[in-house]
Structure 1
Amino acid sequence: MTPAFHRFCIAGTQSGAGKTTVSLGLMAALRKRGFRVQPFKCGPDYIDTGHHRHAAGVRSRNLDSWMMPAKAVRDSFARGSTQADVAICEGVMGLFDGASPTELSGSSAEIAKLIDSPVVLVVNARAMSRSIAALVAGFTHFEPGVNICGVIANQVGSEHHASLLREALASSSLPPLLGWLPRDPQFSLPERHLGLIADTEANSLQERIEVLAKAMERYIDLDLLLSTTSGSRPSLLNPHPPRPTRDLRLGLARDPAFHFYYEDNLDALRSKGVELIEFSPLQDGSLPRDLNGLYFGGGFPEQFAQELSSNQPMLESIRNFAQQDRPIFAECGGFMYLCREIRMPDGTTWPLSGIIPGDCLMREKRQRLGYSQATTRTGSLFGPMGTRLRGHRFHWSEVILDSGIDPLFHLESARGIPEPEVGIQYDSISASYFHPHFASNPEALDAWVEALSRTEAPV
């Protein structure tokens, strides 16, 4: 008998409705019941995916219909679901909010349609009774093909309040109330910058997730949820592609300071025969041996600036590697780390690796958040001048490069509006604040792998 498989997206009526609380709680509760849970996240967010890993026990994957072609979204969902019993995809903003105010592009609703998953709608029901029916009716009938299978009410005042909400939905023949959560501050998560704090910064995150898991068992009808969302497992067209014969080793910075990566990008590298060798700029005394190149992802290096600056053996090891003219790619936090120094808003300055001729200044206001389309201004690791990639930027710092250095990327917003140019192509280093998704241009990934293959790993 084919094992049961369950899939659903958790979406909110708007940001702040409680979808992350519900997502983490359900992931943890179903995991405790013995289900293998695979988490996904609509959109480019890295922070929620870090929380997902703690709740589900496996790394989460981003599904983004603006950065990724439709086929890449479906393939990522199918690939991630191969070993799972339950696939849970947390939405972004409100269900229909995305890159456009007039289309589904980049929205949770578009992802739900692409991966053929029903939607569990989270509603902030504070001070609401029959109005929940009007609200849910609007969401249910707004977009053909978006299947809202049930509702979870958040910020509910009492059992009696929950019964009123349940009756209001049932009397209008709307998707059922699957459960509710009471108004309780212990169900909320602390915030940092725009959204939730990074999972590596939340000392009590596991305890909070445990609280949420118990709340799901108490207030949500998990059996009804599972029966409502049972369906067929997505199939992979080519589940066992041939492995390339390359023997390439790419050093991957991964620790509390650097942990923002799109898992599909890493999978794509592995599929090209690249072995990812993890190391910690915070804790290790030197780079791993026999590397063809380095990859520094995003994160929060400003939170660990003193420790990173104090690890002089690692900084010296990176400087030595850069002098060997081997490919180095750094995005966002990695870009900051490769600068000469990081200067905090209070004036405190921490020297860093210095292989990029520029300084990083932390600002008190967010500098950029949103989708970007990048076009290379010069030949780079990613191919010839004019190579185009889609991705995302989110940063509170600014890198001031020395005069006379050309940026790596020309940028446009998702709506085609020109943005300030960013980044640097310097010797064998490609770096910027831009987080590219290689599903948007697989040829750029091929060019990077080819650049790695032209280097002979040092002994």
Structure 2
Amino acid sequence: MIQEIKIPRILISGTGSGTGKTTFTIALTKALQSRGLKVSVFKCGPDYLDPGYHSFVTGKTCQNLDGWLMGKDSVISSFVGASQGSDISIIEGVMGLFDGHSPNSEAGSTAEIAKWLQVPTVVLIDASGMAGTFSAIASGIKNHDSEVPIQGFIANFLGSKSHLSIIETASIPLPILGGFPKSYEHSFPERHLGLHSAGPDILTEEKLSFWKDLAKEWLDIEKILEISNSAAPIFSEGLTEIQTKTADCKIGIAFDEAFHFYYEDNFKKLRENGAELIFFSPLRDTKLPEVDGLYFGGGYPELFADSLAKNKILIEDIKNFANSEKPIYAECGGLMYLSSEIQNIEGQSFPMVGLIPGKAIMGPKLKSLGYVEAYTEKRTILGEAGIRFRGHQFRYSDLILENDDESIFSYHIRKRKSDQTTREGYTVSNVLASYVHAHWASNPEIPKNFLASCRRFKV
């Protein structure tokens, strides 16, 4: 049944990466929370790190909204469902407002999400070293696509309040809702994959208080709330009760500092299809929980390789689990952990689980970045041959196999910028590992098939 749902909401976009969207979103969230408002935050695109920051700040899981990976219906359903119980929903964009799957299409872009969810949008512009040019950039963005509901602009990286006043006197096509000065000492540190993972050592109370107070002082909070409350109702089946199967299958989820890159929607689909998720730590636990299947997500195993290697008791338990033919699924960092060894950026090597016969070697430069489409060429724990799904790669390592046995491959991978395919998806018995971070909204049969494989090997 289609329902009309009122959700106060606002989308924070920018002219590109590095314009301060994440910091701005955190600052606005903290300012709204200080008013007693319950805030839900979402992230456009496939990123894992920014959602971790927003989850930490709100205490509520930040959902990804990706048009290319998920499709319109899944985006709307996820947004509506995760917005329930909140007073306002904030969506952080990805890259620039119109950047997505292709330079000639809005597929996978923030603009696509803005239109699908009819969400009032504000755009951050790096105002450093400019005045009148700010107006030209704002006008170009406003006029690029009239269907994107842009409602205002933010002048970021200002020199002073006088700088903001100068920009405000220019002929701007929409209101300026404030801006932030440069503040390097309160910025959040970055590493090779982007921001450091969220935690109290990074998101300190001192920094969060600083950005909250800055938002109160420099932003027109009342106007931002007025804009968010002006959002049109969403017509959706998002609140329809989903028939969740009784849990009859236990899935162990590797989750700690080394493994925490997961799409929340994948967890949701596992639960809806009868899974009980049991979280464990490859860093600290010495025994696997009693489960029917294992799921190793991405993360930073290379930064914890020494500790992972020293946990030999758990490694032996994982090997025994695999020898019992119970299914194990792994992505990116999980693949690295299941390989024979990891060589870090300094050239040090550490032995890993050894289920996948290859060495994961970290490099100083990005090895792969972007959307991919996968096609299974043989039966795997995810289903019969011919399964298609979409995902994303973002890695600084390569897997160097120990031999030329091509039977290990189970996927053909096609990048969005090429018609050429490469072979991937490493299989050994009921172990399947890949560099692809798969989003199962692109094929809801995958979680069903994975759980069916787990049920087949239940003791």
Match of 2:221 in 1: 222
Instruction: Find the residue that maps to 1:417 and give its secondary structure.
Output: coil
Match of 1:294 in 2: 294
Superposition deviation, residue 187 in structure 1: 4.2
Q: Kindly indicate whether residue 278 of structure 2 is the aligned counterpart of residue 274 of structure 1.
A: no
Instruction: Find the residue that maps to 1:252 and give its secondary structure.
Output: strand
Q: Aligned ranges for residues 176-255 of structure 1 at < 5 Å?
A: 176-200=175-199, 203-230=202-229, 231=231, 234=234, 235-255=236-256
Instruction: Find the residue that maps to 1:424 and give its secondary structure.
Output: strand
Q: Aligned ranges for residues 70-109 of structure 1 at < 5 Å?
A: 70-109=72-111
Match of 2:429 in 1: 427
Superposition deviation, residue 206 in structure 1: 4.8
Letter in 1 for 2:223: L
Q: Aligned ranges for residues 29-178 of structure 1 at < 5 Å?
A: 29-168=31-170, 171-172=171-172, 174-178=173-177
The alpha-carbon distance between structure 1 residues 378 and 26, as it changes in their structure 2 partners (threshold 3 A), is same
Match of 2:17 in 1: 15
Letter in 1 for 2:241: H
Contact 2:247 2:271 in 1 (8 A): no
Letter in 1 for 2:435: Y
Looking at structure 2, the residues matched to 84 and 369 of structure 1 have their Cα atoms a distance apart, in angstroms, of 34
Match of 2:340 in 1: 340
Looking at structure 2, the residues matched to 156 and 270 of structure 1 have their Cα atoms a distance apart, in angstroms, of 46
Contact 1:79 1:236 in 2 (8 A): no
Instruction: Find the residue that maps to 1:140 and give its secondary structure.
Output: helix
Looking at structure 1, the residues matched to 232 and 86 of structure 2 have their Cα atoms a distance apart, in angstroms, of 12
Looking at structure 2, the residues matched to 269 and 51 of structure 1 have their Cα atoms a distance apart, in angstroms, of 24
Contact 1:54 1:206 in 2 (8 A): no
Looking at structure 1, the residues matched to 124 and 24 of structure 2 have their Cα atoms a distance apart, in angstroms, of 8
The alpha-carbon distance between structure 1 residues 160 and 201, as it changes in their structure 2 partners (threshold 3 A), is closer
Looking at structure 2, the residues matched to 194 and 315 of structure 1 have their Cα atoms a distance apart, in angstroms, of 26
Looking at structure 2, the residues matched to 124 and 371 of structure 1 have their Cα atoms a distance apart, in angstroms, of 27
Contact 1:408 1:432 in 2 (8 A): no
Superposition deviation, residue 179 in structure 1: 1.0
Superposition deviation, residue 267 in structure 1: 0.6
Looking at structure 2, the residues matched to 3 and 67 of structure 1 have their Cα atoms a distance apart, in angstroms, of 24
Looking at structure 2, the residues matched to 261 and 236 of structure 1 have their Cα atoms a distance apart, in angstroms, of 25
Looking at structure 1, the residues matched to 314 and 200 of structure 2 have their Cα atoms a distance apart, in angstroms, of 23
Superposition deviation, residue 153 in structure 1: 0.8
Contact 2:88 2:228 in 1 (8 A): no
Q: Aligned ranges for residues 382-401 of structure 1 at < 5 Å?
A: 382-401=382-401
Superposition deviation, residue 71 in structure 1: 0.7
Residues matched between the structures, number? 452
Letter in 1 for 2:49: I
Superposition deviation, residue 117 in structure 1: 0.6
Provide, for residues 284-309 of structure 1, a one-character-per-residue CA deviation record: whole Å limited to 9, x for no partner. 111112x1100000000001111111
Superposition deviation, residue 329 in structure 1: 0.3
Q: Normalised by the size of structure 2, how large is the TM-score?
A: 0.94
Contact 1:25 1:55 in 2 (8 A): no
Q: Aligned ranges for residues 341-420 of structure 1 at < 5 Å?
A: 341-403=341-403, 404-405=405-406, 406-420=408-422
Q: Kindly indicate whether residue 260 of structure 2 is the aligned counterpart of residue 259 of structure 1.
A: yes
Superposition deviation, residue 190 in structure 1: 1.7
Provide, for residues 345-366 of structure 1, a one-character-per-residue CA deviation record: whole Å limited to 9, x for no partner. 3331111111222221112221
Q: Over aligned residues, Cα RMSD in angstroms?
A: 1.9
Looking at structure 2, the residues matched to 308 and 200 of structure 1 have their Cα atoms a distance apart, in angstroms, of 20
Q: Which is worse superposed, 38-47 or 356-365? A: 356-365
Q: Which is worse superposed, 116-125 or 413-422? A: 413-422
Letter in 2 for 1:227: E
Looking at structure 1, the residues matched to 302 and 83 of structure 2 have their Cα atoms a distance apart, in angstroms, of 35
Looking at structure 1, the residues matched to 94 and 302 of structure 2 have their Cα atoms a distance apart, in angstroms, of 26
Letter in 1 for 2:78: S
Q: Normalised by the size of structure 1, how large is the TM-score?
A: 0.94
Q: Which runs of 5+ in 2 are unaligned?
A: none
Provide, for residues 361-412 of structure 1, a one-character-per-residue CA deviation record: whole Å limited to 9, x for no partner. 1122211111000111211111112211100001111112232143221111
Provide, for residues 26-46 of structure 1, a one-character-per-residue CA deviation record: whole Å limited to 9, x for no partner. 122222322211111111000
Match of 1:318 in 2: 318
Letter in 1 for 2:270: L
Superposition deviation, residue 426 in structure 1: 1.1
The alpha-carbon distance between structure 1 residues 206 and 286, as it changes in their structure 2 partners (threshold 3 A), is farther
Letter in 2 for 1:428: N
Q: Kindly indicate whether residue 447 of structure 2 is the aligned counterpart of residue 445 of structure 1.
A: yes
Instruction: Find the residue that maps to 2:101 and give its secondary structure.
Output: coil
Superposition deviation, residue 198 in structure 1: 2.1
Match of 2:30 in 1: 28
Superposition deviation, residue 207 in structure 1: 3.6
Contact 2:42 2:63 in 1 (8 A): yes
Q: Which is worse superposed, 74-83 or 256-265? A: 74-83
Q: Which is worse superposed, 342-351 or 103-112? A: 342-351
Letter in 1 for 2:187: S
Superposition deviation, residue 8 in structure 1: 1.0
Q: Which is worse superposed, 115-124 or 357-366? A: 357-366
Provide, for residues 404-452 of structure 1, a one-character-per-residue CA deviation record: whole Å limited to 9, x for no partner. 1432211111134324322311101111101111111112222112112
Contact 1:262 1:437 in 2 (8 A): yes
Looking at structure 1, the residues matched to 233 and 85 of structure 2 have their Cα atoms a distance apart, in angstroms, of 10
Provide, for residues 305-334 of structure 1, a one-character-per-residue CA deviation record: whole Å limited to 9, x for no partner. 111111112111111111111111000000
The alpha-carbon distance between structure 1 residues 258 and 160, as it changes in their structure 2 partners (threshold 3 A), is same
Looking at structure 2, the residues matched to 53 and 237 of structure 1 have their Cα atoms a distance apart, in angstroms, of 22
Looking at structure 2, the residues matched to 237 and 10 of structure 1 have their Cα atoms a distance apart, in angstroms, of 23
Instruction: Find the residue that maps to 2:392 and give its secondary structure.
Output: strand
Letter in 2 for 1:319: K
